[in-house]
Amino acid sequence: MVFEINDAFLENLSKLIASNNHKEITTLFSEVHFADIAEVLEEVDFDEAIYIIKLLDSEKTAEVLTELDEDTREKILANLSAKEIAEEVGEMDSDDAADIIGELSEERQIRVINALEDEELAADIRELLSYEENTAGALMAKELVKVYETWTVAGCMRRIRGQAQEVTRVHSIYVVDKEDKLVGRLSLKDLIIAKSDQQIADISKAKVDAVNVHTDDEEVAKIMAKYDLEAIPVVDDNNVLLGRITIDDILDVLKEEAEKDYQMAAGLTQDVDSDDSILELTKARLPWLFLGLIGGVGAFLIMGLFEHTFKENAVLFFFTPLIAAMAGNVGVQSSAIIVQGLANNDVKGSINSRLIKEMLLAALNGFILALFLFVFVWIYEGKINTALAISSSLVIVIIVAGLIGTFVPLFLNKRGIDPAIATGPFITTSNDIFGILIYFLIAKGILGI
């Protein structure tokens, strides 16, 4: 049965909290998934959220904290002592614990880590926090099942039972040599069906996909997606096994990247939410809006240069929005396809081949649209030269917009800049300006005015 949060549930919960009915509240949440509890905490008053967090056991609240919105979690952690936070993160895997502690101030980080009873977990968290953000090292968990190639199957089975207790889900067993260098992997199936006196080296698979601890997290996501991996080991420059990254961590990376790209495409310069303050939202939106303003001023100045052309053939003015809109739309379409291809690692070959393909595609689309527009203008205006000027301008504008929309994200990607920036107001504004300029130059040339 799907857990449902409704007004009746929230009202009942508020009454139980007001009456300090600990037993009833504990019973109420005993069978509720931690993700649903996190959703409840987002709905209730802040004081009630703190009350629930402190009431439930650390094992459950540890999971709840990882599911909370960052802003909500930050507020809750600010109202917990270092010892209380340590109790919560003590129940987490090392990667989740490092993520939570990493959100605290440097002073509180030290206090929370020092308050941890598990010294091994504390050491793991210090190591994970030392890695650069958005790398495999910062993303990995230290918990894994590791065996040595010289062990026998019988000895291996005894030893991994203790290791497996610390691992939430065992995807693979990693095989290392005496120097802890990764040499292979072993599936649970192979281990179970093997003879007890066989050596691990004889039944393990030597080929194992791994990533370096300094690899960018987006690159890790691409590798795991390409090879359909549920987990991937992380090694250092000497191939020493350090940890593993699981598919749930990669899903978080992909979600964050998708949100960032969507906001950049919409013309937002930083990560914001609808609940952020007016000042924060203004800071995120204003730069691109200012770019749009500059683009509009540029279009105004260009149109001013062709004032005489307007006076001689006023109908050109009425088709200016159409030309600008088509340029912007085609540019965004082209850039969006390229950005998507770059994100999925599907864009292959040289830039020139992509530009030629896009030019042919744009020419075909432009010709079809221009043919319709030519007939319309001819019938409406009754002047074949005017119809030819407007329709031929449309073809050239669409081709140029397609080329710009293709070239810019490819160029940015080559320079190590996120190409998603090319799908937003940047492309729209630049194509508007180029489109209007091309439109009037061609119209002036054909009409001779």
**Amino acid identity of 339?**
V
What is the SS3 string spanning the chain? CCCCCCHHHHHHHHHHHHCCCHHHHHHHHCCCCHHHHHHHHHHCCHHHHHHHHHHCCHHHHHHHHHHCCHHHHHHHHHCCCHHHHHHHHCCCCHHHHHHHHHCCCHHHHHHHHHHCCCHHHHHHHHHHHHCCCCEHHHHCECCCEEEECCCEHHHHHHHHHHHHCCCCCCCCEEEECCCCEEEEEECHHHHHHCCCCCEHHHHCECCCCCEECCCEHHHHHHHHHHCCCCEEEEECCCCEEEEEEEHHHHHHHHHHHHHHHHHHHCCCCCCCCCCCCHHHHHHHHHHHHHHHHHHHHHHHHHHHHCHHHHHHCCHHHHCHHHHHHHHHHHHHHHHHHHHHHHHCCCCCCCHHHHHHHHHHHHHHHHHHHHHHHHHHHHHHHCCHHHHHHHHHHHHHHHHHHHHHHHHHHHHHHHCCCCHHHHHCHHHHHHHHHHHHHHHHHHHHHHHCC
**Rounded to an integer, what is the distance from CA 211 to the centroid of its chain?**
19
Predicted pLDDT of residue 109: 94
Predicted pLDDT of residue 132: 93
**Domains annotated on the chain, with CATH:** 7-134 (1.25.60.10), 145-251 (3.10.580.10), 278-447 (1.10.357.20)
User: How many CB atoms neighbour CB 358 within 10 A?
Assistant: 22
Predicted pLDDT of residue 411: 82
Strand ordering across the sheet containing 241-246: 211-212, 231-235, 241-246
Which tops the pLDDT comparison, 391 or 342?
391
Per-residue pLDDT averaged across 218-236, rounded? 90
Predicted pLDDT of residue 206: 86
Which tops the pLDDT comparison, 244 or 286?
244
Provide the pLDDT confidence category of residue 241 given band limits of 50, 70 and 90: very high
Predicted pLDDT of residue 316: 82
pLDDT in tens, 276-285: 667 776 776 6
Which tops the pLDDT comparison, 83 or 299?
83
Lowest mean pLDDT among 140-149, 209-218, 302-311: 302-311
Q: Is the pLDDT of residue 395 over 70?
A: yes
Q: Is the pLDDT of residue 426 over 80?
A: no
Residue % of the chain over a pLDDT of 90:
25
Predicted pLDDT of residue 251: 85
Per-residue pLDDT averaged across 174-200, rounded? 89
Provide the pLDDT confidence category of residue 414 given band limits of 50, 70 and 90: confident
Provide the b/e sequence for 36-57 (b: ≥16 CB within 10 Å).
bbbbbbeebeeebbbbbbeebe
Per-residue pLDDT averaged across 302-322, rounded? 79
How far apart CA 260 and CA 11 sit, in angstroms, is 36
For residues 391 and 448, the answer to whether their CB atoms sit within 8 Å is no
Provide the pLDDT confidence category of residue 264 given band limits of 50, 70 and 90: low
Per-residue pLDDT averaged across 279-305, rounded? 75
How far apart CA 441 and CA 246 sit, in angstroms, is 57
Instruction: For residue 41, report the phi and psi dihedrals to the nearest 5 degrees.
Output: -65, -30
Per-residue pLDDT averaged across 31-59, rounded? 88
pLDDT in tens, 316-360: 888 888 888 888 888 888 887 887 777 666 666 667 777 888 888
pTM assigned to the model: 0.67
